[in-house]
Every structure is written in structure tokens, then in C-alpha cells.
């Protein structure tokens, strides 16, 4: 299923490139990893994965329009915009560049907003908005250890959380024990709503949640343009 998703993203991007006459223009797109401060500023908490060095933010710059994606693998590389259409998407590294590039192109074409991560106090403010979309006592599966979201959700919902970071698995955060990826299917069966990191589009696990048969909301800037193309529900209150 994931291969079909990436094929859809490529095909839609190709249509946009062609319809806006971008394919043959000498336009470079540079992908680079940002420092934690560049990506998230100086928030009040230091427990975010990017600050702990577990993830990086890849940023693509396309005609001064910026698109970002979270990933555990990255490359610093320049691409022509048409290179995105033939890119091998078999690794997180390449998928991160592709998604960042897709976000940047969509931002340039005014087809997507909020392609740049929130900073400083904004992650806390964003978490406070969760009660606007998630009802009290809901059974929520949180995919990805976003500490402010977990803290807020655990205060008024039933929560299970799965994460790929082995250093988090088995540990309690805000009374919730972080579970391994292997527990995902059971947690999906248990929950009545999935709240998943948009970086699932980079680590190739997104189809597990799209096809789960449960309401799903994807959070963060990584998923911005893909969500527009795939008609997914998203949550990103303070992206830029």
C-alpha cells in the first residue's frame, strides 16, 4: 500500500510541475539538516526528540519557499525539482528529502501552508489546542513520542503510545508507558482514535494507520503537502 501512496504523491507532483511549467526550468532545490535551534528554537522543555538528537529536521528550499520533514536519517544534497519525480524512495533518507521537497514546491505554488515547524513556546500552545479536537475520556493511540501532546492527552484521555526510539520504550511518561512498534496493531484495535506523527510518511509506516479502519489525525509539518494530496486530516496549529 505504501508504494501506491508514494506513486500518488509523485504523480500529483508531476502534474503540478508540468501545469506550472517548472519541469525544464533551471531551478535547484537544496535539502539540508537543521540544527535543533534552527528547527524548534528555544522551547521551555528539552525532552523533544530533535533536541535529544534522536531526529533531525530536513529542510528543502525551492525558490525561497521552504518545506520540512522530520527523519532519523538525512542527506545534505542539491536536487533539480524534476529529480523528485524519479527519486528512489526505498530509504528514510531519500523519503525525507522527497517529502521536504514536495512541501517546498507546494508552498511555492501556494497549495500548502504550515510547512515550517513551530518554535519556542508554540509547541506548548499547540498542545493546549488538542482539547478542541479530542474529547475527554477518548481512547487515543499516540504514534510517536511528542512529549507535550502526550502530557496533555494523558491529563484527560485514556492513552496508549508507541514509538520507534528504543530509549523511550518501556519508560513511563506522564503515567503512560511507551510501547514498541510491535504493539501497534493491538493498540489500534484498542483505541477509538489514532493521533499519529506525520513523519510516518517518511518512515514508511503511514499505511498502517490510513488502512486501520479507525479515525486518524496526523500531526506536524512533515505531512502538510502529502495530506493535501491524500485528503488526510491533520493537526498543526502553530506551523509557519
Q: How far apart are CA 58 and CA 76, in angstroms?
A: 8
Q: What integer pLDDT is reported at residue 22 of this predicted model?
A: 85
Longest distance between any two alpha carbons in the chain, whole Å: 54
More confident: 71 or 218: 218
Task: Tell me what the mean pLDDT of segment 152-181 comes to.
Answer: 94
Q: Which helix (H) or strand (E) holds 161?
A: strand 158-162
Give bridge partners of residue 178 from the DSSP assignment: 161
- The most confident of the ranges 91-95, 146-150, 226-230 is 226-230
More confident: 15 or 48: 15
The strand pair at 65-71 and 56-62 is best described as antiparallel
Task: Tell me what the mean pLDDT of segment 54-83 comes to.
Answer: 86
Residues across the chain: 240
Closest CA relative to residue 92, chosen from 76, 70, 65, 110: 70
Task: Tell me what the mean pLDDT of segment 94-103 comes to.
Answer: 94
Residue 36 has pLDDT above 90, yes or no: no
Q: What integer pLDDT is reported at residue 107 of this predicted model?
A: 95
CATH 3.40.50.11590 in the chain: give the residue spans: 122-235
* pLDDT tens, residue by residue, 109-119: 999 999 998 88
Q: How far apart are CA 124 and CA 43, in angstroms?
A: 8
Confidence of residue 51 (pLDDT cuts 50, 70, 90): very low
C-alpha cell at 27: 531551478
Closest CA relative to residue 148, chosen from 174, 117, 114: 174
Q: What integer pLDDT is reported at residue 77 of this predicted model?
A: 85
Q: What integer pLDDT is reported at residue 55 of this predicted model?
A: 73
Q: Yes or no: say if 31 and 100 are a contact pair by the CB < 8 Å rule.
A: yes
Other C-beta atoms lying within 10 Å of the C-beta of residue 136: 8
DSSP string, 60-114: EEETTEEEEEEESS---EEEEGGGGGG---SSHHHHHHHHHHHHHHHHHTTS---
How does the average pLDDT of the chain come out, rounded?
Answer: 88
Closest CA relative to residue 10, chosen from 97, 78, 87, 66: 87
* pLDDT tens, residue by residue, 194-219: 999 999 999 999 999 999 999 999 99
Assign domain 122-235 to a CATH class: alpha beta
Residue 39 has pLDDT above 90, yes or no: no
Amino acid at each position: 500500500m505504501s508504494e501506491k501512496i508514494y506513486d500518488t504523491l509523485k504523480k500529483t507532483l508531476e502534474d503540478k510541475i508540468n501545469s506550472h511549467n517548472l519541469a525544464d526550468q533551471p531551478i535547484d532545490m537544496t535539502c539540508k539538516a537543521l540544527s535543533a535551534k534552527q528547527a524548534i528554537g528555544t522551547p521551555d522543555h528539552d525532552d523533544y526528540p530533535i533536541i535529544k538528537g534522536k531526529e533531525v529536521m530536513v529542510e528543502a528550499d525551492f525558490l525561497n519557499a521552504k518545506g520540512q520533514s522530520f527523519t532519523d536519517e538525512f542527506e545534505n544534497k542539491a536536487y533539480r525539482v524534476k529529480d523528485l519525480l524519479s527519486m528512489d524512495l526505498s530509504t528514510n533518507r531519500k523519503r525525507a528529502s522527497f517529502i521536504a521537497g514536495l512541501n517546498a514546491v507546494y508552498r511555492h505554488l501556494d497549495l500548502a501552508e504550515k510547512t515550517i515547524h513551530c518554535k519556542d513556546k508554540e509547541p506548548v500552545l499547540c498542545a493546549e489546542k488538542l482539547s478542541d479536537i479530542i474529547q475527554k475520556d477518548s481512547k487515543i493511540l499516540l504514534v510517536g513520542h511528542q512529549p507535550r501532546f502526550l502530557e496533555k492527552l494523558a491529563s484527560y484521555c485514556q492513552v496508549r503510545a508507541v514509538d520507534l526510539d528504543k530509549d523511550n520504550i518501556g519508560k513511563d511518561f506522564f503515567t503512560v508507558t511507551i510501547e514498541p512498534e510491535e504493539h501497534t496493531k493491538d493498540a489500534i484495535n484498542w483505541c477509538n482514535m489514532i493521533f499519529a506523527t506525520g513523519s510516518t510518511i517518511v518512515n514508511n509506516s503511514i499505511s498502517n494507520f490510513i488502512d486501520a479502519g479507525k479515525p486518524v489525525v496526523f500531526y506536524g509539518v512533515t505531512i502538510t503537502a502529502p495530506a493535501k494530496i491524500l485528503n488526510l486530516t491533520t493537526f498543526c496549529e502553530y506551523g509557519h
